[in-house]
Amino acid sequence: MSVKHVGFIMAALITTTMGCSQTQTRNSDKIVKNMEYRKLTPEEEQVIINKGTERPFTGKYEKYNEPGTYVCKRCGAPLYRSTDKFDAQCGWPAFDDEIHGAVKHIPDADGMRTEIVCARCGAHLGHVFKGEGFTPKNTRHCVNSISLDFLPANAPKNYDTAIFAGGCFWGVEYYMMKSRGVISTEVGYTGGHKDHPTYKEVCTGTTGHYEAIEVVFDASLTNFETIARLFFEIHDPTEWNHQGPDWGEQYRSAVFYRNESQKTITEKLIAELKEKGFRVVTEVKPATTLWKAEDYHQDYYNHKGTTPYCHGYVKRF
Catalytic positions, please? 142, 168
| CA distance linking residue 307 with residue 137, whole number of Å | 32
Tell me the chain's radius of gyration from C-alpha atoms: 21
Which DSSP helix (H) or strand (E) runs through 125? strand 124-130
Contact 256, 285 (CB under 8 A): yes
Residue 213's beta-bridge partner residues? 164, 187
| 68-72 and 283-286 strand pairing | unpaired
For the CA atoms of 154, 143, 48, 21, what is the dihedral angle to 10 degrees?
Answer: -90
DSSP letter for each residue of 192-229 = SS-SS--HHHHHTT-S--EEEEEEEEETTT--HHHHHH
Half-sphere CA count of 180, side-chain side, radius 13 A: 17
DSSP 265: H
- Residue type, position 291, single letter: W
